[in-house]
Structure 1
């Protein structure tokens, strides 16, 4: 069967769209410390820099990677969090909603 120019163009557009979508899905947006939602939880990308006088609940060793709200893969530099939707948090970050229960 001989392929037409039209079927070739349709297939090309479909493949190109799939590649663009796959690229967007793979590159999640990182949560910024200046994001309004991050500010409301006192989010820090580096848990060692948490203001202990402002967040008395913080304890050394607490970080996003060992929080029960974190959904990132073990050893990954960042991952998802229930609180922040599609934005990824730093594995070594921290926020005031930290829980390990």
Structure 2
């Protein structure tokens, strides 16, 4: 019984430290540049107000990364991760054509 508790504790500490390290690594992740090939393909703008509405008719005022279902931070976070830009952060006030309103 002591052995399984010890194993559990060691495993738990390992998992917790890995999570903390990966969270810190993500916080240090680079920000997506509008010149990034993926950003260009998706029409990403760091400021949603600058979206080319003629080119991206899907865009509507009020849409931004902070209220998109893909945004991996809190709406109040200035930057957070997005699976569309693996390993990079997007601006909460940004927008791209993959926008999907958070439920």
- TM normalised by structure 1 equals 0.73
How far off is 1:79 after superposition?
0.3
Tell me the SS of whatever aligns to 1:79: strand
Which 4+ stretches in 1 moved above 2 angstroms? none
Larger radius of gyration: 1
What's the secondary structure of 1:59's corresponding residue? coil
Compute the displacement of 1:63 (Å). 0.1
Q: CA deviation at 1:73?
A: 2.3
Residue 59 (structure 1) shift? 0.2
Distance 1:56 1:76 in 2: 27
CA–CA distance in 2 between the matches of 1:64 and 1:74?
A: 8
- How many matched pairs? 80
What residue is the counterpart of 1:27 in the other structure?
28
State the distance in 1 between where 2:72 and 2:86 align. 11
- Deviation string 1:10-64 (CA, Å, 9 cap, x unpaired) is xxxxxxxxxxx78x71411000000001000000000001010110000000000
1:97 aligns with 2:98: yes
TM-score of the two chains, using structure 2 as the length reference: 0.72
1:66 aligns with 2:70: no
Show the counterpart of 1:76. Answer: 77
Structure 2 unaligned runs (5+)? 1-20
